[in-house]
């Protein structure tokens, strides 16, 4: 069973995938109060139902560009208490800054469809987002980092600090980062301190992922 039963509005223009997600969410114990295929309907049902969470694709009718992402940014602005899970096949930059800015309070997720290996992984991520956490797919983080590789203070980071920054932005603890990189926790703490100093980020550990993501928005 989920951490808590969520009321969810789902937006996905592919009918088969939409129905599949409805089944997954309902079997997990959640209530899908609306399942729609375009951003206008998403906004309308969010305003009407005031769900706990929104799960949305990025590309939807009529232009199939960034309607879902624009809708998510608007929802987050107008209803900051609603958790947002973006589930897409693409890494998009337009309107991601607005979402990342709002992630200071948590409750934001961005997963890539073809990288969700198990249903449980998706459901666990949704639970975390609904609980106020920020969950960003590592590939999204890597692409954002890569696109900003030569921008300002980011260019001053060493390769190891870039690795640590990417793992931090995935939401990993110092202990988890140490395991991945096969180094001591003390070494990770030193790298984190250097990163915060070079990027002039808040050193509050409870907000470090949001701070990093806010920096990555450019």
Distances (CA, A) of 190 to 52, 186, 210, 212: 38, 6, 20, 16
Mind spelling out the 3-state secondary structure of 17-74? HHHHHHHHHHHCCCEEEEEECCHHHHHHHHHHHCCCEEEECCCCCCCCCCHHHHHHHH
What predicted TM-score, i.e. pTM, was given to this entire model?
A: 0.74
**pLDDT tens, per residue, the chain with 218 residues:** 556 899 999 999 999 999 999 999 999 999 999 999 999 999 999 999 999 999 999 988 888 888 998 899 899 889 989 999 999 887 776 656 566 655 555 688 889 988 888 899 999 999 999 998 888 887 777 776 666 555 566 778 888 988 888 788 766 789 999 999 999 999 999 998 888 888 776 665 555 665 666 566 55
What residue ranges define each of the domains in the chain, with the CATH number in brackets? Answer: 7-136 (3.40.50.2300), 141-216 (1.10.10.10)
Find the helix or strand (DSSP H, E) in which 134 lies. strand 134-136
């Amino acid at each position: 069973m989920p951490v808590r039963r969520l009321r969810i509005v789902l937006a996905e223009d592919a009918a088969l995938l939409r129905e599949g997600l409805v089944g997954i969410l309902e079997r997990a114990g959640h209530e899908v109060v609306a399942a729609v295929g375009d951003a206008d309907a998403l906004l309308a049902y969010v305003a009407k139902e005031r769900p706990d969470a929104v799960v949305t694709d990025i590309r939807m009718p009529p232009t199939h560009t960034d309607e879902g992402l624009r809708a998510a940014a608007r929802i987050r602005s107008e209803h900051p208490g609603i958790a947002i899970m973006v589930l897409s096949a693409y890494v998009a930059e337009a309107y991601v800054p607005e979402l990342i800015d709002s992630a200071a309070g948590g409750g934001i997720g961005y997963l890539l469809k073809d990288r969700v290996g198990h249903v449980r992984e998706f459901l666990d991520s949704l639970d975390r987002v609904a609980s106020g956490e920020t969950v960003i797919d590592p590939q999204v983080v890597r692409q954002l980092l890569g696109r900003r590789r030569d921008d300002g203070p980011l260019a001053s980071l060493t390769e190891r600090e870039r690795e640590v920054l990417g793992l931090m932005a995935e939401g990993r603890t110092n202990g988890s980062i140490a395991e991945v990189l096969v180094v001591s926790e003390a070494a990770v703490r030193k790298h984190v301190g250097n990163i915060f100093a070079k990027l002039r980020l808040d050193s509050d550990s409870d907000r470090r992922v949001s701070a990093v993501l806010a920096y990555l928005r450019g």
